[in-house]
Amino acid sequence: MTPATSAKPAPPEPSRPERKAFYDAISAYSMHPLWEVLHSLVPQEPATNCVPCLWKYNEVRPHLMRACELITAEEAVRRVLILENPALRGQSAVTQSLFAGLQVILPGEIAPSHRHTQSALRFIVEGTGAYTAVDGERTAMRPGDFIITPSWTWHDHGSAAQTPVVWLDGLDIPMIRFFDAGFAQTDVNRSQAVVRTEGTSFARYGNNMAPVRHDAPFGATSPIFSYPYERSREALSALERGGPVDPWDGVKLRYINPLTGGYPMPTMATFMQSLPAGFDGKPYRQTDGAVFSVVEGRGSVSVERGDGKWNFDFSARDHFVIPSWHTARFKSEQGCVLFSFSDRPVHQALGIHAEERMVAG
């Protein structure tokens, strides 16, 4: 959906006094003239007020550790430092539709069981030995694993690790808030009872096979709730060796719901990509703003929109956000692996997803 060229709208004329008086008069009846806001309501192209932002892990981590001294996981319920878009401070949002945060759990702690209609994803950043339990099954968390908490499933986290475990939380909180459709409950149990052996969901659905008689246990959400890094990494490496490498994305795969081939969650798409050593990418932009977690290596991304320019040098465990319709261009001298998530499934369901891949540069 590349927009056709069209005439630029005339700038609004300054309001004449009799119009202003009229606007004041109708304001008393909770009415407002459309013609005063039309151009900003229906912009010629996406005009987000979100800005790109980079969170360097070496700057963030000490604050995560300080949070551990100030509050327990139990008291906090979820000990998360929210990654707030600098243009949306106070809204607990990294883009207009998405929440991102870094959660930390210490050895022996429990983040108590609850459920909510908001869907959550976890991407493990640091530490091994924590688990998350979803609907009666536990899964170990290892760096690079992508884990899902489907809408309205009980979930709790715990840790038998020796060290802190940190992960990126991605939720559709602002989207559900937009629809005023959120429900939540606290479980009577701190930790839910384990009713299935670890690995059951993956064995059932994670090997290009599915139980002969099955229904979708989590509705529109994937029945696999842990996608181990090992598998994703292996796939990217094989594709990188075999080529070809996409000039914009490097080698990029999307995670799927094996029952549908679609995205793993109805509201969020997740991706993992590898930029091979020496990658000098072409610029692109898309309507779905995306949050990135750097898994391995180093690289840089230059982001542009209008007169705004940003350049982020990133390395493993850093996080950054590229908002809607910002032009991004990746480079990596030594190669890197990036996880990302966005609200693309919703754009596509509504038929409004747009992407432009520039050839120049």
The type of residue at 57 is Y
User: Cβ of residue 155: shortest distance to ligand 1HN, in angstroms?
Assistant: 5
CB nearer ligand 1HN, residue 135 or residue 169 = 169
Task: Please identify, among the stretches 32-40, 166-174, 211-219, 230-238, the one whose residues bind ligand 1HN according to the rule CB under 6 A.
Answer: 166-174
Among 80, 83, 291, 328, contact with ligand 1HN (rule: CB under 6 A) = 80
Q: Which two tokens stand for residue 34?
A: 């459309």
46-75 mask for ligand 1HN (x: CB under 6 A)?
A: ------------------------------
CB nearer ligand 1HN, residue 138 or residue 155 = 155
Contact between residue 81 and residue 101 where contact means Cβ atoms under 8 Å apart: yes
CB nearer ligand 1HN, residue 149 or residue 327 = 149
* Residue 103 touches ligand 1HN, criterion: CB under 6 A: yes
CB nearer ligand 1HN, residue 115 or residue 344 = 115
Phi, psi of 133 (to 5 degrees): -110, 130
* Residue 125 touches ligand 1HN, criterion: CB under 6 A: no
Contact between residue 170 and residue 123 where contact means Cβ atoms under 8 Å apart: yes
Among 50, 100, 120, 166, contact with ligand 1HN (rule: CB under 6 A) = 120
Output the CA angle 230-232-234, nearest 5 degrees.
65
* Residue 173 touches ligand 1HN, criterion: CB under 6 A: yes
* Residue 39 touches ligand 1HN, criterion: CB under 6 A: no
Instruction: State the Cα–Cα distance between residues 345 and 197, nearest whole angstrom.
Output: 31
Output the CA angle 34-36-41, nearest 5 degrees.
65
301-330 mask for ligand 1HN (x: CB under 6 A)?
A: ------------------------------
CB nearer ligand 1HN, residue 116 or residue 326 = 116
What is the b/e burial string over 75-107, where b = at least 16 CB atoms within 10 angstroms of the residue's CB?
A: ebeebbbebbbebbeeebbbbbbbbbbbbbbbe
Among 53, 95, 100, 101, contact with ligand 1HN (rule: CB under 6 A) = 101
Q: How distant, in Å, are the alpha carbons of 16, 202, 266 from that of 205?
A: 66, 5, 18
User: Cβ of residue 352: shortest distance to ligand 1HN, in angstroms?
Assistant: 26
The percent of the chain in helix, strand and coil, each rounded to the nearest 5, is 20, 35, 45
Q: Which two tokens stand for residue 258?
A: 């094996």
User: Cβ of residue 245: shortest distance to ligand 1HN, in angstroms?
Assistant: 35
Question: Which residues lie closer than 8 Å to 94 by C-beta, 6 or more apart?
Answer: 83, 84, 85, 88, 100, 291, 321
User: Cβ of residue 211: shortest distance to ligand 1HN, in angstroms?
Assistant: 27
Cα 268 to chain centroid, rounded: 7
CB nearer ligand 1HN, residue 291 or residue 336 = 291
Contact between residue 270 and residue 146 where contact means Cβ atoms under 8 Å apart: yes
Q: Which two tokens stand for residue 325?
A: 């319709």
User: What's 195's DSSP letter?
Assistant: -
How many CA within 13 A on the CB side of residue 97?
A: 21
User: Cβ of residue 221: shortest distance to ligand 1HN, in angstroms?
Assistant: 15
Among 155, 285, 305, 319, contact with ligand 1HN (rule: CB under 6 A) = 155
Among 84, 109, 135, 169, contact with ligand 1HN (rule: CB under 6 A) = 169
User: Cβ of residue 134: shortest distance to ligand 1HN, in angstroms?
Assistant: 10
Residues that bind ligand 1HN (CB under 6 A): 78, 80, 99, 101, 103, 111, 120, 155, 169, 171, 173
